[in-house]
Amino acid sequence: MENLVLGLMVGILLAVLIFVIGYSIFTNTYSEKAEKRVERITYVLCFLTVCLSVIISASCTVNLNKRWEMEYEVQKTLIEDSVENANLTGFERVELVKQANELNAELVGKQFDCQRWYGFLIPDSVLELEPIAFK
């Protein structure tokens, strides 16, 4: 969701920049007909800029969430397999448990967000992920 808001803010800033440039162009135009045309084109470009930046940020957010899901699966497998290793020291086990707790907390947060109205960019497959458990 943060990326979507960031994309909207970037789009608005770019739209303001386009509007300022367009405004400076159509205020220096002598023909009123050409001035109205440039003004309309400026408004359309501003609107398209905002829409395009939101679409791009939404696409990036979806890809980041899919990537996080794949990374979680890999880290989960690695942690669960590593805990069973008899050669681990106590400190290494503590670090693995700490890392597992952090990943589980992040998973719970993503699953919570996915169930809310603003979680439409998080894939539903996140809800099927299981937390990291130790045997």
For tokens 């998080």, name the residue: 122
Which tens digits make up the pLDDT trace of 83-121?
A: 877 788 888 888 888 999 999 999 999 999 889 888 888
Q: Which residue has the higher pLDDT, 71 or 21?
A: 71
Q: Which residue is listed with tokens 């996080």?
A: 68
* CA separation for the pair 103, 98 (Å, rounded): 9
The whole-number pLDDT of residue 109 equals 93
Residue showing tokens 């007909």: 33
Both structure tokens of 50: 């905002």
